[in-house]
Amino acid sequence: MLESADGRVAGIKVKAGATVRTEDLAGLRHLANRLRSRFIAGYLLYTEQQTLPFGDRLLAVPIDALWRTAP
């Protein structure tokens, strides 16, 4: 988790695999439900190359996106 000074929270999970299932985001969903409006986003980092949406404020993002530069 990352928390800003004003209390907003982003959740991050890292998965060592290329397949993402809905169940893989259960912890991030739980965090979102507990924090409600303080939860700004949840990210699952994984080894594939495609960004995938998994509902409100939840994304599966390629881990190498951390090192990519914007176009």
Whole-model pTM: value is: 0.89
Domain map of the chain by residue range?
A: 2-66
**Distances 50 to 10, 34, 71 between C-alpha atoms, Å:** 20, 28, 17
Q: What local confidence, expressed as pLDDT, does residue 17 receive? A: 93
Beta bridge partners of 39: 9
For range 40-49, the mean pLDDT = 97
Inform me whether the pLDDT recorded for 71 exceeds 80.
no
Q: Which long-range contacts (CB under 8 A, 24 or more apart) does 48-56 make?
A: 48/18, 48/19, 48/20, 52/20, 54/20, 54/22, 54/25, 55/25, 55/29, 56/32
